[in-house]
């Protein structure tokens, strides 16, 4: 990259959550995550680390209700940051597929930064709660990211036993798949589509 780093900072305030996220696609400007939910912090930390992103997430949500608003709204703002930071998507690889093992578990995430929103989520998360996070909101998080970023996101667990391992393998695979998809390839002329727009 010779031009300036692709980045976005977005603030979103509702009666349920106040969120500010800064995302840097090109420089590892540091990772600082505070959502108020320990397990979600853990997941976003390793997402950014393995995606090699700069990521600052500050969220104050209505955790006295339950973790759902905070988890989903954090996904929305993270997705919006990707969409804004990517801009016209000139020269990006667009696709990313990564398999990440974690002990007995194997997770896969495939993404297409297509401009179209779709989530396919195929994971059986047997433990209903991980720390302060309801595991059913993992799917809600990915749904929110996929729709706000306008991308196809397929996440699945091929096999495994431990729910913590399953969710962690998905977030690591998501980070690595996004890194692959946002990477600028000098061989790509314009945008990576025969339509000319993504």
Binding site for Mn ion (CB under 5 A): 168
Q: Which is nearer to Mn ion, 102 or 148 (CB)?
A: 102
Residue 135 C-beta: closest distance to Mn ion, Å: 14
Q: Which is nearer to Mn ion, 42 or 69 (CB)?
A: 42
Residue 102 C-beta: closest distance to Mn ion, Å: 8
Rounded Cα gap, residues 9 and 86, in angstroms: 12
Q: Three-class SS of residue 54?
A: strand
Whether residue 175 contacts residue 47, with contact meaning beta carbons closer than 8 Å, is answered with: yes
Residue 78 C-beta: closest distance to Mn ion, Å: 19
Give how far Cα 116 sits from Cα of 46, 89, 119, 141, 149, Å.
26, 14, 10, 17, 9
Q: Which is nearer to Mn ion, 30 or 38 (CB)?
A: 38
Q: Which is nearer to Mn ion, 105 or 152 (CB)?
A: 105
Q: Which is nearer to Mn ion, 154 or 165 (CB)?
A: 165
**Could you tell me which residues are beta bridge partners of residue 59?**
19
- Residue 99 φ/ψ, nearest 5 degrees: -105, 130
The greatest distance separating any two alpha carbons of the chain, rounded to the nearest whole angstrom, comes to 51
Residue 119 C-beta: closest distance to Mn ion, Å: 23
Residue 89 C-beta: closest distance to Mn ion, Å: 32
Residue 83: which residues within 8 A CB-CB, separation 6 or more?
148, 149, 150
**Could you tell me which residues are beta bridge partners of residue 145?**
none
Residue 43 C-beta: closest distance to Mn ion, Å: 8
Q: Which is nearer to Mn ion, 80 or 168 (CB)?
A: 168
CA within 13 Å, CB half, 67: 22
Q: Distance from first CA to last CA of the chain, Å, rounded?
A: 20
């Amino acid at each position: 990259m010779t031009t300036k780093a692709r980045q976005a900072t977005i603030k979103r305030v509702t009666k349920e959550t106040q969120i500010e996220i800064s995302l840097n696609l090109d420089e590892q400007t540091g990772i600082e995550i505070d959502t108020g939910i320990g397990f979600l912090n853990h997941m976003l930390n390793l997402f950014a680390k393995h995606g090699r992103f700069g990521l600052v997430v500050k969220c104050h949500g209505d955790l006295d209700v339950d973790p759902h608003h905070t988890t989903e709204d954090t996904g929305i703002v993270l997705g919006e940051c990707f969409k804004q930071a990517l801009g016209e998507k000139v020269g990006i690889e667009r696709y990313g597929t990564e398999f990440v093992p974690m002990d007995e578990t194997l997770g896969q995430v495939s993404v297409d930064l297509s401009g179209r929103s779709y989530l396919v989520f195929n994971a059986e998360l047997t433990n209903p709660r991980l720390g302060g996070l309801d595991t059913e909101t993992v799917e809600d998080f990915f749904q929110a990211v996929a729709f706000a970023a306008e991308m196809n996101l397929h996440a699945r667990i091929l096999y495994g036993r431990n729910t913590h391992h399953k969710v962690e393998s998905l977030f690591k695979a998501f980070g690595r798949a996004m890194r692959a998809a946002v990477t600028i390839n000098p061989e790509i002329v314009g945008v990576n589509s025969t339509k000319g727009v993504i």
